[in-house]
Chain A
Amino acid sequence: MEIFIYGITNSVTLALIAIGFSLTFGISGVPNFAHGAFYLLGGILTWIFINQLGIPYLFSAILAIIIVGFLGFILYWGLMLRLRGLVINEVIATLAAAIVIIEVLRYLGFSGFTYVLPEFIKGSVQIGKVWLDYQRIFLVGIGIVLILFLYLFTHRTRVGLSFRAIAQNERTAISLGIESDWTAALSLAFGSALAVVAGLAILPLGSIDTEVGYDILIYALAVGIVGGLESVPGILLASFILGFSQILVATFFKAQWLTVVTLAAIVIILAVKPSGIFGKYKELEERV
């Protein structure tokens, strides 16, 4: 029973982290390696707003989401646009941006037990034999709401539909009047904002450590590679597979074997179906 509950929370955590990254990648074609950096930045900004500027939690959170979302937009507009078309450079640029952000934050010392985000809802409840923090339930709740919201957004709103259009076929979308640059920048803003939302849900469970900027990126990439980066169902499925595997391994073997699971999953997927479980990249047909 415990396994089930922890498995679910772990899986939703992974899904929250990976969704933002895969959304941006699917639409703009650019992997945003600064995803983890934005996650971290969002958490730290919120902390600063709460503890040094005295802004109430909810407003700090919203402010952080908006600021980082804006940063994501700027990252695309200011940097990526100049490098558009040269794939090599695009890929390197986001990684460079991530490193700059994370290392500067590390230098400024934002690590350790002082840096804690309060839980949204304090206390815990007992389900069966398990004590579950309300925060974790809140997390799952946010996850479900987010997925629903994203689904509705990409299927009902104009911006969302243009997201999907660009993801499917950029040229056609452009010929239909959808501005691909603007949409790509928006998707980057979106993805970054999602990273912050994920951070706000997850960070209260521990303390902030700048290393998390890289760890989050690892998880986002791992889930993406296993599930298939452009496929939302793939991401969800991969999150659950990885999430439950990790919990199972931690329960029946040693807790530290989590990473083995991740690595093993990647190696297996690469050997069996490199494009991911639901990945659709049949490379050959793409560019004739």
Chain B
Amino acid sequence: MSEPVRYRRERIDRGIKVRADTVFVLATLRDMTYLFLPRFLPVLALLVLPFFVSGGYWEKVLFYSCMFALLALSWDLMASVGLVSLGQALFFGVGAYISGGLNHYLKMPIYLSIPLATLAGAFFCTLLLVSVLRLRGVYFSMVTLILPLLFAHLIETLDILGGTHGLLSLTPFPSGWLAMYLGIFAVIICLFGFRKLINEDFGLVLKGIKDDDRVVMAGGINIYWYKAQAIFIAGGVGCFAGALMTHYYQFVGRSVFALDYTVLPLASAVLGGPGSFAGATIGTFLLVPLSEVLRALGGLRMALYGAILIAALVILPEGLFHYIERKYHQFERDVRV
């Protein structure tokens, strides 16, 4: 009588990873390449890409991707402390209008209005959201969802800040390259900055708050202060993206508060893997070009993002980045039981 042969899937770290993890001195060039290449290559690609797409249609797409990447990264930072924002458009819109408004009404030059928009916008949004922090997480999500939509309504019905027409003829960047590289550097700085932040003790506290805030409080940490800090940083990044976009297009209208600026970063971050900032970036650089390619579908694209979101949540909750990382660091094989 023969028993059926059974296999089980075994995952083992690749030899090179084991060596890279435990040995302090990287012995061979191969080891070093293994570690540095995944970090170095994308950054390099990002830095040289503008030269390839300059002047063409895809230049705009690259810029767009950077903006959305910033929004996705800011979402991811807030998600790391347990705050699920359903309204990145809030930060984006506030930053856009502050910079646009300062530029339009006060004739402020962009090298002043953009930083101001970043800081003031971060303060404003943090103040708005601070009181919800003491309630269940769901309330935070609901308030972030409703605020940008309300702001958009407000601008339209009160006809303030340009109303339905928006503010036009704002000061552009002295050169398209400047805008592009500002965006790219912002993405790189945020990506690696956030990763470092989350790996340091500060980030550990943030993750602790998300995991179990009672224990964190028993350890003497004011969780609301740290949540506020996370919102401030993330908000600043979002406002910065909004301000950049405003001057790239020399226009700001109520559409900056639209759901599009919430859903696409959300879908990118969830698809890429919440918590891994690299995932948010990868997700954005996948979805934004995809969105451009599917331009013909018009409004249906939003439905597509929604569908991708649901699919990502159900099928691949760990996200693309962790999946790829796992494949890179480990290999799987079937082992006889």
Contacts and interface: CB of A to CB of B under 8 A. Distances in A.
A103 to B, nearest CB: 4
A145 interface: no
Contacts of B266: 92
Given A91-B84, A103-B300, A274 B132 contact: yes
Contact of B145 (A95, A271, A274): A95
Contact of B132 (A87, A88, A95, A270): A270
Given A97-B310, A99-B303, A218 B84 contact: no
Interface in B137-171: 137-139, 141-143, 145-147, 149-151, 153-154, 157-159
A271 B166 CA distance: 30
A260 B158 contact: yes
Interface stretch (A11-19, A161-169, A251-259): A251-259
A79 B314 contact: yes
B55 interface: no
B143 A270 contact: yes
Nearest to B270: A92
A270 to B, nearest CB: 5
A98 B310 CA distance: 11
A221 interface: yes
Contacts, number: 130
A269 to B, nearest CB: 9
Contacts of A222: 146, 150
B157 A89 contact: no
Contacts of A266: 143, 146-147, 150
Nearest to B151: A263
B135 interface: yes
A214 B257 CA distance: 13
A128 B128 CA distance: 44
- What band does the interface of chain B fall in when counting residues whose beta carbon is under 8 Å from A? 35 or more
A267 B128 contact: yes
A262 interface: yes
Interface stretch (A57-65, A119-127, A193-201, A280-288): A280-288
Contacts of B97: none
A100 B150 contact: no
A89 B100 CA distance: 35
B307 interface: yes
A232 to B, nearest CB: 18
Nearest to A258: B157
B139 A274 contact: yes
B92 interface: no
B135 A274 contact: yes
B305 interface: yes
A3 interface: no
A259 B135 contact: no
A103 B306 contact: yes
The interface centre, meaning the residue of B146, B149, B299 with most chain A CB atoms within 10 A of its CB, is B146
Given A92-B84, A92-B266, A275 B146 contact: no
19 contacts: A98-B306, A99-B302, A99-B305, A103-B306, A107-B299, A107-B300, A107-B303, A217-B145, A218-B150, A222-B150, A225-B142, A259-B154, A260-B154, A270-B128, A274-B135, A283-B134, A283-B135, A283-B136, A286-B136
Given A98-B306, A106-B299, A107-B297, 16 more contacts: A83-B314, A93-B309, A97-B310, A100-B303, A103-B299, A103-B302, A104-B300, A214-B149, A217-B145, A218-B150, A224-B142, A257-B158, A259-B154, A263-B154, A283-B134, A287-B214
Interface of B: 79, 84, 86, 128, 131-132, 134-139, 141-143, 145-147, 149-151, 153-154, 157-159, 214, 259, 263, 266, 270, 274, 297-300, 302-303, 305-307, 309-310, 313-314, 317
